[in-house]
Structure 1
Amino acid sequence: MNSLTLPDIAAQSQLHATPLDWVGMCAIALPIQVEGRQVAAMADAGVNLIEGKSRGIHMSRLYLALERLENQALTPLVLRRLLEAFLASHEGLSTAAHLRLNFEHLLKRPALVSPLAGWKRYQVSVDAKLENEMFHVELSVRVPYSSTCPCSAALARQLIQRQFEQDFKEDELNRDAVLTWLGSSQGIVATPHSQRSQASIKLRLRDNLDALSVTELIDTIEASLGTAVQTAVKRADEQAFALANGQNLMFCEDAARRLHRALRALTWTTGFTLRVEHAESLHAHDAVASSQWQW
């Protein structure tokens, strides 16, 4: 047996070393528990390094501390205890700890009319930071939806009116003829343009929450917009989707305002930022709007 102590080069004193804001590891594969399910996540974990105390940090201590997330529900309280463990393992070296978790949240969504259902994935991230006993957690999610341009819809309606005037010049109209005309390409000569859009939301959570309400946040976002993208559909679902778009015409400004009102109604957040992007089908550029509250 070799009785020599293994060298710890990272612990060597660096009296004139420049302090570092963040030192750690990125893209650590990690199973976590979210809303009763195990989810595959990627973790970024790190601490700061104060001046003149050490050449480096003990990364293995952070890595091993992450194991506590494997078998308990992810909550703000659990995250705070984990960051406290990060700092306890670097006493005298660090005063701030940070963790970011990136994962996909899978939800099975029913079709609008038919009995079909399918899975949708949502990109989610959780950021937690503890510095000088100040702790906060942020929950971020990206949600796709459909948006139909109000201006395009108005212009299409005007063209349909013009075509109606050309095709029905007599004073007395035949109901069946009009009905047939409305169901033909001859009558509906123009349609509004729509695009796949995306809402990016970041919430600052209350630090005493006993749950991480990812699904509730996604449901709130989709309900406020009214045009969530679909999974498995039949023609009846596609028709219902067309109706939903027709009843929820919106510019990016409208979408941002809807989301702002919906997020303000949540009781478990202390602030948020939001950004919507409408990937234009008319233009080669995108339309964007953003808003924030207490950020």
Structure 2
Amino acid sequence: MPDVQGLPDERGVALDEVGIEGLRYPMLIADGQGVKRETVATVDMSVSVGAEVKGAHLSRFVEVLHAWRDQLDQASALSLAEDVRNRLGSSSARVQMSFAYFVERQAPVTGARSFSEYQCTLSVGASDKGTSFLLKVRVPVTSVCPCSKAISDRGAHNQRGYVTIEVEPEPGAQIWFDELIDVAEASGSSPVYALLKRPDERHVTMAGYDNPVFVEDMARHVAVVLRSDVRVTRFRVRVINEESIHNHAAYAQLGWTATTDHRDV
């Protein structure tokens, strides 16, 4: 059959990205313990197209994704991007996958087990110059207001907060979602659990009250931890509180890129 996309183009215009986006696809994602978790990812895939090439063979994106769908971890994600680049004969390729990532948690007192859900994004690229890798997590936490605690005779207002961390590791360094989730949860007054029995709820409530934090505190906590990690090339953190007694949300954010001195530590 005729391959129209394989024909040459004479307009002399190269394209930075050509691909597919918004594809929903079942995946098996490895967690930090090496256990594979089922999820459904929303996938964007693209390649660069040279000035002399008419178009990309879009069906090949899905073929490559299907071949790698049951073995996704950091190493295989990079191989996936390289496979896309090779299969489509392009100088560069990019793959982004967003999905619900499930981690089994134990309640703090009773030890009751349940799965907590975190929204995660994995972005990988491959080109003639090498590969790129980016992790992003959005983690729910509880935050108790330090000001409210200080001025109130009883109690303090608390709210659901979300800590979003985006990290680019050093080339070859191993960082996975579980570590970033732990950093985010440690920044809040208390983690959020899917399952709590009454002794657990009592513990979480009192622990949060004993550890009040502003959004600024949470953002700074994450920054201190990640700046000291020599595996991190750059990061961005954004913390937002859905305020319980105000008709607005509160947020804090910052970005950071490693210096040469940092990498030499």
Same fold (TM over 0.5): yes
Cα-to-partner distance string for 1:88-108 (whole Å, 9 max, x where unaligned): 2333xx322100112211122
For 1:215-234, list aligned pairs within 5 A: 215-234=178-197
Q: Select the structure that is richer in strand.
A: 2
Which residue, out of 111, 125, 128, partners 1:129?
125
> What secondary structure sits across from 1:102 in the alignment?
strand
Which residue pairs with 1:246 in the alignment?
Answer: 209
Aligned residues: 253
Cα-to-partner distance string for 1:203-231 (whole Å, 9 max, x where unaligned): 1023324x552222212321233411122
CA distance in 1, matches of 2:9, 2:231: 44
Please state if 1:138 is matched with 2:102: no
* CA deviation after TM superposition for structure 1 residue 13, in Å: 1.9
Instruction: Tell me the amino acid that sits aligned with residue 20 of structure 2.
Output: M
Instruction: Tell me the amino acid that sits aligned with residue 80 of structure 2.
Output: L
Which residue pairs with 2:5 in the alignment?
Answer: 10
More off after superposition, 238-247 vs 27-36: 27-36
Which residue pairs with 2:222 in the alignment?
Answer: 259
CA distance in 1, matches of 2:194, 2:70: 31
For 1:1-295, list aligned pairs within 5 A: 6-16=1-11, 18-26=13-21, 27-35=23-31, 36-40=35-39, 41-51=41-51, 53-75=52-74, 77-91=75-89, 94-156=90-152, 160=153, 190-209=154-173, 213-294=176-257
* CA deviation after TM superposition for structure 1 residue 78, in Å: 2.6
* CA deviation after TM superposition for structure 1 residue 17, in Å: 5.3
CA distance in 2, matches of 1:235, 1:81: 46
> What secondary structure sits across from 1:275 in the alignment?
strand
Which residue pairs with 2:262 in the alignment?
Answer: none
Which residue pairs with 1:171 in the alignment?
Answer: none
Instruction: Tell me the amino acid that sits aligned with residue 127 of structure 1.
Output: S
Structure 2: gaps (5+ residues): 259-265
More off after superposition, 82-91 vs 55-64: 82-91
CA distance in 1, matches of 2:30, 2:53: 36
* CA deviation after TM superposition for structure 1 residue 22, in Å: 1.4
Cα-to-partner distance string for 1:12-70 (whole Å, 9 max, x where unaligned): 2221153322111122414234133043333211102122x222101122222223423
Higher RCO by CA contacts (8 Å cutoff, separation 6 or greater): 1
CA distance in 2, matches of 1:221, 1:109: 15
CA distance in 2, matches of 1:281, 1:226: 15
Cα pair distance change 1:113/1:80, threshold 3 Å? closer
Instruction: Tell me the amino acid that sits aligned with residue 277 of structure 1.
Output: I
CA distance in 2, matches of 1:252, 1:71: 38
Query: Contact (CA 8 Å) 1:17, 1:55: kept in 2 or not?
Result: no
Query: Contact (CA 8 Å) 1:30, 1:43: kept in 2 or not?
Result: no
> What secondary structure sits across from 2:191 in the alignment?
coil
Aligned sequence identity (%)? 28
CA distance in 1, matches of 2:245, 2:97: 37
CA distance in 2, matches of 1:117, 1:96: 43
> What secondary structure sits across from 1:255 in the alignment?
helix
Cα pair distance change 1:265/1:226, threshold 3 Å? farther
* CA deviation after TM superposition for structure 1 residue 73, in Å: 4.6
> What secondary structure sits across from 1:263 in the alignment?
helix
CA distance in 1, matches of 2:37, 2:195: 25
TM-score (norm 2): 0.87
Structure 1: gaps (5+ residues): 1-5, 161-189
* CA deviation after TM superposition for structure 1 residue 193, in Å: 1.0
Query: Contact (CA 8 Å) 1:110, 1:118: kept in 2 or not?
Result: yes
The CA RMSD over aligned residues, in Å, is: 2.1
Which of the two has higher C-alpha Rg?
Answer: 1
TM-score (norm 1): 0.78
> What secondary structure sits across from 1:207 in the alignment?
coil
